[in-house]
Amino acid sequence: MEFETIELVKKDNLATLTLNRPERSNAINMKMMEELAVAIEDIAQDDDMRAMLLTGAGKAFCGGADLDIMPGGGNVENFAKLGVENLRRSFLFRSSRKIMLGIQQMEKPTIAMINGACVGAGFDLALACDIRTASEKAKFMCGFVKLGLFPGFGAAWLYPRTMGLAKAMEMLFTGDMLTAEEAMRTGMLNKLSTPDELEAATLTMVRKIVDGPPVAIRLMKSQVYKGMGTDFPTALDEAAVCESITLASKDHIEGITSFREKRAPSFKGE
């Protein structure tokens, strides 16, 4: 499929998805939402892809949502006329659900490489990923409160899980900007780099993931998220099942063999 607002490159088992409206700070419009939904589903279903890297073209990661994404094209005066139920069932929220769950529930690891401003719905896209790296020039903001809005892309669920409850409340209630250094201190970011070193540093981490055992990594991801709402005895029962699956895998045999032969393993996801 030909994309207009995003780029999707698949190479060496890695799918790189780039938000590509640099002239608009990669703001999310209706076309981008349509294309993101298609691309994310495509990556999820492609067994040759072992990870997804999400980033933005130009100087920004994502500046949030464009007005045309809103019901009625962003005409505020018409919102009350549309009514809550029509707004809730609009393209905006149907599509955002598909995109956000598509990223967060994707079996394979997802990594956001944040090269600049990361605002509003764009911030939520980054937080839906499993891992985040950022440039020292990156900055983060919720901002919905300044418009009298509740954040509809999942921020109230994502923020506490990625930066802690107190910082999440502060970000949501004030709409203040968060610097890259502050974001790193909250634990929201995995790695912070200079702008020139960001891509190389990120790809070094991503390559370790892509070259790892796909079955074990996918099970790890699923159990980490499931475990956040599971008691420990249940988690231990599921851990026994998951490790049994990997013990019986060809990748485990390859891991042991490569260790004994003192060479890098070549995992096939079998």
Q: Which two tokens stand for residue 65?
A: 């949502």
Q: What is the pLDDT of residues 23-41, one digit of tens each?
A: 999 999 989 999 999 999 9
Write the secondary structure of the chain as one string of H (helix), E (strand) and C (coil): CCCCCEEEEEECCEEEEEECCHHHCCCECHHHHHHHHHHHHHHHHCCCCCEEEEEECCCCCECCECHHHCHHHHCHHHHHHHCHHHHHCCHHHHHHHHHHHHHHCCCCCEEEEECCEEECHHHHHHHHCCEEEEECCCEEECCHHHHCCCCCCCHHHHHHHHHCHHHHHHHHHHCCCEEHHHHHHHCCCCEEECCCCHHHHHHHHHHHHHCCCHHHHHHHHHHHHHHCCCCHHHHHHHHHHHHHHHHCCHHHHHHHHHHHCCCCCCCCCC
Three-point CA angle 2, 29, 81, nearest 5°:
135
91 occurs within a structural domain: yes
Residue 80 pLDDT grade (very low, low, confident, very high; cuts 50, 70, 90):
low
The number of beta carbons lying within 10 Å of the beta carbon of residue 220 is 15
Q: What is the CATH number of the domain that holds 138?
A: 3.90.226.10
Rounded to an integer, what distance in angstroms lies between the CA atom of residue 27 and that of residue 64? 5
145 occurs within a structural domain: yes
Q: What are phi and psi of 203, to 5 degrees?
A: -65, -30
Number of structural domains (the chain) is 2
- 227 and 133 within one domain: no
268 occurs within a structural domain: no
- 178 and 106 within one domain: yes
Q: What is the pLDDT of residues 97-153, one digit of tens each?
A: 999 999 999 999 999 999 999 999 999 999 999 999 999 999 999 988 888 888 888
105 occurs within a structural domain: yes
Residue 76 pLDDT grade (very low, low, confident, very high; cuts 50, 70, 90):
low
- 223 and 192 within one domain: no
pLDDT at 38: 96
β-pair type (139-141, 191-193): unpaired
Nearest to 157 by CA among 117, 129, 194, 128: 128
- 137 and 175 within one domain: yes
270 occurs within a structural domain: no
- 256 and 158 within one domain: no
- 131 and 106 within one domain: yes
- 37 and 84 within one domain: yes
Q: What are phi and psi of 115, to 5 degrees?
A: -95, -5
Q: Which residues pair with 10 in a beta bridge?
A: 15
Q: Which two tokens stand for residue 94?
A: 């149907």
Residue 49 pLDDT grade (very low, low, confident, very high; cuts 50, 70, 90):
very high
156 occurs within a structural domain: yes
β-pair type (110-114, 131-135): parallel
- 203 and 219 within one domain: no
269 occurs within a structural domain: no
- 232 and 117 within one domain: no
38 occurs within a structural domain: yes
- Parent domain of 44: 6-210
- 64 and 95 within one domain: yes
- 221 and 196 within one domain: no
Q: What is the pLDDT of residues 194-220, one digit of tens each?
A: 999 999 999 999 999 999 999 999 999
Q: What is the CATH number of the domain that holds 240?
A: 1.10.12
- 239 and 118 within one domain: no
